[in-house]
Amino acid sequence: MSSKPLVPAIEGWHTMEAKPHLIGTQCQDCGTYFFPKQNDYCRNPQCESTDFREVELSRTGKVWSYTNACYKPPAPFVAQEPFVPYAIAGVQLETEQMVILGQVIEGLTVDDLKVGMPMELVLQPLHETDDDIKVTWKWQPLAQ
């Protein structure tokens, strides 16, 4: 077991707690949620606000859609060698009702996923550097 510190692969996108949350923003005028954070203007076409608050988004939701990634993603993503295809799920967050696309945990394939399946956000190592272990968020089936 490595004694290197765990750090986010992308700073500010998720908390580092045992039960992590994605970090988004919410428009103070119309209530629209955004991930990743939005701070310059509201992308809701019926709103012209520039006033946002940072929020922790729901950590649970249901599979809205899913697919497999059979190609090695471009940098800055660091893929394991040899590259192993992985599953991606669009999960509709419980409270915000927005769909967040992300990898599912290692070991799950599209054969394990179903539309409507309850999911939760977890952290998993992405890659290791000389100084630390970069972690990212992924989706896993919610224990029932």
pLDDT at 81: 79
Secondary structure string (H, E, C) spanning the chain: CCCCCEEECCCCCECCCCCCCEEEEEECCCCCEECCCCCCCCCCCCCCCCCEEEEECCCEEEEEEEEEECCCCCCCCCCCCCCCCEEEEEEEECCCCCEEEEEECCCCCHHHCCCCCEEEEEEEEEEECCCCEEEEEEEEECCC
pTM over 0.85: yes
pLDDT in tens, 71-92: 887 776 777 778 888 999 999 9
pLDDT in tens, 109-141: 999 999 999 999 999 988 888 899 999 999 999
Would you say residue 31 has pLDDT above 90?
Answer: yes
